[in-house]
Amino acid sequence: MGALEEILPDEIRQNAILSGSEYVLALRDAQRAIEIASERLIAILGVESFRILAAGLAVMDYTGYNFELRGDWAEFVRLNNTEALTFLRDHQLPDGHGYILTATSEEEFHALAEVP
């Protein structure tokens, strides 16, 4: 479980569907999760949308943005999270669909750079 999942309110977690260790969130919960992430300086690096089927998840779409960290973590978060919210606004799906947010805290992000 990552930094975002650890800070999500119980209400959002309880409404979510688990896919492995990731939460599949309804549109409003995904939007709220991004707002919470922004407040806590957690970057949303990507968003995937899915149709929820009895047999699992069918990918509908995913984001294509990629920002480089240039020293200012707060700006990196702002850029990524703004794009994530834009994706949700432009890809609103009805009930029976959900979103997975790929997120990272600053500590998690820098730890990835240290992995050989």
The total number of residues shown for the chain amounts to 116
Using an 8 Å Cβ cutoff, are 77 and 42 in contact?
A: yes
Question: What's the token pair of residue 10?
Answer: 């119980």
pLDDT computed for residue 64 by the predictor: 80
pLDDT computed for residue 114 by the predictor: 66
Q: What is the pLDDT of residues 28-75, one digit of tens each?
A: 999 999 999 999 999 999 999 999 999 999 999 999 888 999 999 999
Q: CA 21 → CA 1, 10, 56, 78, 101, distances in Å?
A: 7, 16, 14, 25, 12
**For the structural domain made of 3-111, what CATH number should be given?**
3.30.190.30
pLDDT computed for residue 43 by the predictor: 97
Residue 116 has pLDDT above 90, yes or no: no
- Of 99, 81, 2, nearest to 34 by C-alpha is 81
Q: pLDDT class for 6, splitting at 50, 70, 90?
A: very high
Q: Which residue has the higher pLDDT, 85 or 113?
A: 85
